[in-house]
Amino acid sequence: MKKKILIALVAVTGFSMNTAHAQLRKVPAEVTNNFSGKFPDATNVEWQDQMVDFKVTFDENDKNYVVKFMNDGAWKSTERIIKLDYLPKAVKKGFSKGEYGKWEIREVTILETPENKSQYKITVAKNSINKKDLLFNADGQLVKDNFTF
């Protein structure tokens, strides 16, 4: 029965399980216009429809970005990979003294939002299965931890 439903879903929507980034709808002009205005030198641009917002990955000035825009074109967030050395001292201290301080650091990013809040995401792994995204505020306080794949 599940197989029949999946086949019907594929037939009706054209969705494929092999599609890594299914684009379900066209990116609205408000979104693309705001993106172009905010990041005029972007290259290698790839859009993803996430239903509640649009995610765009791109390069600009030798840096990799992930940016989200609301469906109406409003900018939601910008995430950029940074080196561990660029973390504020308070964030490094908060991480090292926390329960994940001994885990392997896989990636460090800075997350900016319209509220002018800069937060720092540290992706860590204890092993190949147990991985987390840790979100710290600029004062070094852990504000969120999520499992990741």
At 12, the pLDDT band (50, 70, 90 cuts) reads: very low
82-124 tens-digit pLDDT = 999 999 999 999 999 999 999 999 999 999 999 878 999 999 9
49-90 tens-digit pLDDT = 999 999 999 999 999 999 999 999 999 999 999 999 999 999
The b/e string for 48-67 (b: 16+ C-beta within 10 A; e otherwise) is bbeeebbbbbbebeeeebbb
51 and 90 part of one domain:
no
User: Measured between alpha carbons, how far is 76 from 113 in angstroms, rounded to an integer?
Assistant: 6
* The total number of structural domains that make up the chain: 2
100 and 121 part of one domain:
yes
Domain boundary at 73, 101, 134, which? 73
Cβ neighbours of residue 117 closer than 8 Å, sequence gap 6 or more: 137, 138
pTM for this model (two decimals): 0.74
User: What local confidence, expressed as pLDDT, does residue 74 receive?
Assistant: 97
2 assigned to some structural domain: no
128 and 101 part of one domain:
yes
- Read off the CATH number of the domain in which 111 is found: 3.10.450.360
Boundaries of domain holding 122:
83-149
62 assigned to some structural domain: yes
93 and 116 part of one domain:
yes
